[in-house]
Chains A and B, each alone.
Chain A
Amino acid sequence: MNSRLIDKIREIVGKENVLISEEERKCYSFDARAHGSVPDLVIFPKSASQVSEVLKLANEHNFPVIPRGQGSGVTGGAVSISGGVVMVFTKMNRILEIDKENLIAIVEPGVITYEFQEEVKKHGLFYPPDPASHKYSTIGGNVAECAGGPNSLKYGVTRDYVLGLQVVLPTGEIIETGVRTMKGVVGYDLTRLFVGSEGTLCVITKIILKLIPLPESKATLLVFFREVEDAAICVSGIISARIVPAVMEFMDRASVICSEMANPIGIPEETGALLLIEVDGDEASVKAQVEKIIPILKEKKASEFRITYDPKESEALWLARRTLSQATYNLNPVKVAEDVVVPRSKIPILIRKLEVLSEELNIPILSFGHAGDGNFHVSIMIKDEPRDWEKAEKAVREIFKETIQLGGTISGEHGIGTLKSDYIDMELSREALITMAKIKKLFDPNNILNPGKIFPKYMKF
């Protein structure tokens, strides 16, 4: 980028909102997992109209623009593939409105998920989408990825809470989509087309969110099983008893061992699977749900369980699950992480397949995640050497193949970005991909907004 262009951009967003030095720009060349190219410029816009002006320039001068929240994504979405301008939203971080009567809120994209959740809590309200990264991810990033979390069986994912958006199209037009109401059919659903579009169809500048009343209380249960099949049967048992827990987190044998080594909490040695269950609601209903769950646990061969109604003690029960992600690095320094989803009843089949694969390739493969909605995270732990990378690549292909065969999907919440784009055609048909590519071209004729994402490399734009 030449200096005149840089000056123009500095004029638009203000000097203080531009990073020019190489060291500073470097910090924006990776996300939580992928490394990309160092951007030519990093800017922090303050309004939709600034975003619009920069995008118009980008079309004129043909440079890429990459929207970015906190860079906590794990598929390379917020990372440039070749220079350009990284547009960071952390300075558009105001909660504009919390409307108690109508149970909605309006926020700027840079608001941190956790801070927003805490703020609405003060009003007795609840914003359920709860990615494990909530302490640092932005709502804008959550919307762009359609983030999920442990409670989505009962409460749904980010998509279910986005009522409307203000976005800037790649060509610079500012538009508003959706509604402030609980219902609304007013033409095509552009709002949901934008949710999960990974910053490739538009830049999100304002978000109207749906809220719900905060459940009064909850109970947490930590349950151990000898075999993964028993855990799966238990999950089905709970659901067929017409109980919909808010959380049903799952850890397989490898995960249990790994976590127990790092943070021992006294998990019985022969444990082959663990479930962390949470039910919520008013006090009476929480008690009633727990009373129904306990006999099911006993009947379905749980080897041991712990239970608490106390939020503080609940933290202790969560410990194994919460610290697991970090503990995996004790096994090997590099993580290749997948985010597959299969119909709930197929979980044991996939887990067994992973055990076999791990043994065959002789690398640790751990899986843990959201049993309620069949979404789990497979961590393939390797050393940073070509032979291991090869093995990981092979494992990923196998896992995806099996997942799709079981009626599943290769990404439940992390998106495609650059890291998964080579696999997307394993799941989507040619026709579907071509239709999506046409939509991308329609919105972004010059391919300036977050290019090189989602689509396989052989598709040209």
Chain B
Amino acid sequence: MIKTAVIEELKKIVGEGEVLTTKEALKAYSYDGTTNWIREPDVVVFPKNTIQISEILKVANREKVPVTPRGGGTNVSGGSVPWMGGIVLCTTKMNNILKIDKENLTCTVECGVVLQDLNNALLKEGLFFPPDPQSFLGATIGGIIAENAGGPACVKYGVTKQYVLGLEVVLPTGEVVNLGGRTLKNVVGYDLLHLFISSEGTLGVITKAELKLNPLPPSRKTIVAVYDDVTKAGETVFRVLENGVIPGKIELLDNWVINRIEEMMPMGLPRDADAMLLFECDGIDEAVQKETEKVVDISKKYGATDVRVAKDTDEANRYWMARRAGFAAVFGKAKTVLSEDVTVPRGKIPDLIKKSKEIAKKYGLELVMLGHAGDGNLHPSFLTDISNKEHYEKATKAMEEIIYAAVELGGVLSGEHGIGLEKQKFFTRVTDPKVVDLMKKIKALLDPNNIMNPGKIWE
């Protein structure tokens, strides 16, 4: 338990009203985007600026109290759960967009800015920030950077890392450092910037970010390809890319997801299809036209039973809304969802799907498959119930097998959701101990008292 004197000190730093200690409040900050892990903090603080964060960390470092940074709390790997109690440092009140620089295609934002708010502001300027985690209504820039989040647009545009030019970071000892800068190129000294991106709140608190933006593509088109066999859909993905087309997005939805979407909001999706692929081509008119034709041809050639091109934005929007609803559909349908985030080389997508189906069959479980097929990042999911011990254990075991299958196919544990609490066990098993050791040493170097988000990644 944290000392009352420390809480008093925190109140002095951020103001009485920005410190929560009531039972209900602590409960509200005890879980993440799932409810798979629950642990209450001793106190929640809402700093308003970098100096306050620095002061908080100095106190925490002196008292050796754990600090867990938290943005929107939408992550699904336990990253924002205060596993060792202590302070939850919630950044939602640092939500100013400080500058949008149209000429240089950059913006400066505080860490607590919600992605949707940034997107809206950028839209007005004809710009966009490509990384698009489907939790954009709640996810903050700080959380997105800390997880190196991705989304459908990453096939073409790459993940968050490619869009962070500079960061202001408060180190666990309270020092404020600026890493990177405002320019597209920078090779001055070691790349600490990228060390902080995807560090899951374990190395310091990100307080400000300089982001790279793209001009909004003037034109886009959505294509739906329907399959009677999900593995054929998997093959189409890499055939399209192999033929020189890089669509803005390629998403995969399986039969189960299609049907749940149809139940939630009927929109005429093919309920008997084994899977569908959703493509979006974007860019200048002429290029989009041509890419769309190619995608249609290739999908047909590799076994799509039906291919449609959305005739207008309305129709296109409906498909994308369906895709967004997909994740919610999965999570809404069961007490507990085990949803993975494996990524395999694109050419191995069909193998991964086949293998996952076999595993599901072996354990007598229903498998749900959806994800960002374009970059090989899939979210195979099992619906289960943590209170039904037998079923839950079966699901956990089956999922383990899927993860190992992905690794065997040359893939990785996590494409975008992070290790957090969820994948620790696998992380230390599939990662070279020498590498884990090196990471631990870096952690110890920057955070000698292990106060930043302890209990995550490998512990």
Contact = CB atoms under 8 A, between A and B. Distances in A.
Contacts, number: 272
B418 interface: yes
Given A175-B438, A180-B410, A201 B104 contact: no
Given A282-B290, A409-B186, A185 B435 contact: no
Contacts of A431: 171, 175-177
A407 B458 CA distance: 38
Nearest to B146: A185
A435 B184 contact: no
A148 B185 contact: yes
Nearest to B443: A188
Interface stretch (B26-34, B85-93, B190-198, B387-395): B190-198
B181 A409 contact: yes
A153 B184 contact: yes
Interface in B144-162: 147-148, 150, 154-155, 158-159, 161-162
B41 interface: no
A284 B287 contact: yes
Interface stretch (B112-120, B214-222, B323-331): B214-222
B315 interface: no
A196 B419 contact: no
Interface in B359-414: 372, 375-377, 410-414
A458 to B, nearest CB: 15
Contacts of A345: 101, 103-104
B442 A195 contact: no
Nearest to B184: A373
A42 B450 CA distance: 43
Contact of B246 (A152, A212, A439): A212
Interface stretch (B56-64, B261-269, B426-434): B426-434
Interface stretch (B44-52, B134-142, B272-280, B340-348): B340-348
A101 interface: yes
B42 interface: no
> Which of B190, B191, B436 is most buried by chain A, counting CB atoms within 10 A of its CB?
B190
A197 interface: yes
A177 B242 contact: no
> Which of A284, A373, A440 is most buried by chain B, counting CB atoms within 10 A of its CB?
A284
Interface stretch (A23-31, A86-94, A336-344): A336-344
B290 A284 contact: yes
Interface in A238-295: 239-240, 242-244, 281-282, 284-285, 287-289, 292
Contacts of B214: 244
B189 interface: yes
A239 B105 CA distance: 9
A435 B192 contact: yes
Nearest to A101: B347
Interface residues of B, number: 94
B190 A193 contact: yes
Interface residues of A, number: 90
A160 B162 contact: yes
B102 A240 contact: yes
Given A101-B347, A285-B283, A442-B441, A411 B244 contact: no
A213 B242 CA distance: 7
Contacts of B199: 188-189
Given A179-B412, A212-B246, A341 B183 contact: yes
B241 interface: yes
A36 interface: no
> Which of A99, A186, A440 is most buried by chain B, counting CB atoms within 10 A of its CB?
A186
A432 B376 contact: no
Contacts of B216: 242
A431 B427 CA distance: 31
B188 interface: yes
Contacts of A184: 343, 412-415
B183 A343 contact: yes
Interface stretch (A317-325, A350-358, A422-430): A422-430
B150 A409 contact: no
A343 B106 CA distance: 9
Interface stretch (A1-9, A43-51, A62-70, A412-420): A412-420
B194 A157 contact: no
B284 A288 contact: yes
B190 A285 contact: no
A41 interface: no
Contacts of A242: 126, 215-218, 284
B123 interface: no
A342 B106 CA distance: 13
A201 to B, nearest CB: 7
Contact of A407 (B181, B241, B286, B377): B181
A343 B101 contact: yes
A343 B192 contact: no
Nearest to A427: B188
Nearest to A421: B189
Interface string A94-134: 00000111111000000000000000000010000000000
Interface in B63-109: 101-106
Contacts of B101: 343, 345
A189 B146 CA distance: 12
A374 B183 contact: yes
A295 B343 CA distance: 45
B94 to A, nearest CB: 21
Contacts of B284: 242-243, 285, 288-289, 292
A354 B47 CA distance: 43
Contact of A433 (B176, B189, B345, B375): B189
Given A188-B439, A408-B182, A183 B187 contact: no
B178 interface: yes
B189 A124 contact: no
B249 to A, nearest CB: 13
Contacts of A204: none
Nearest to B215: A242
A103 B242 CA distance: 8
A432 B246 CA distance: 38
A197 B162 CA distance: 18
B307 interface: no
Contacts of A427: 188
Nearest to B198: A185
A59 B419 CA distance: 35
A236 B104 CA distance: 8
B187 A186 contact: no
A74 B106 CA distance: 30
B142 to A, nearest CB: 15
B2 interface: no
12 contacts: A146-B191, A179-B343, A185-B415, A213-B244, A242-B215, A284-B286, A285-B290, A341-B186, A374-B104, A409-B181, A428-B188, A435-B171
Interface of B: 101-106, 126, 147-148, 150, 154-155, 158-159, 161-162, 171, 175-179, 181-192, 194-195, 197-199, 203, 214-218, 238, 241-246, 283-287, 289-290, 343-348, 372, 375-377, 410-419, 427, 431-432, 434-436, 438-439, 441-443, 445-446, 457-458
Which 3 pairs between the two chains have the least Cβ-Cβ distance?
A101-B347, A285-B287, A192-B194
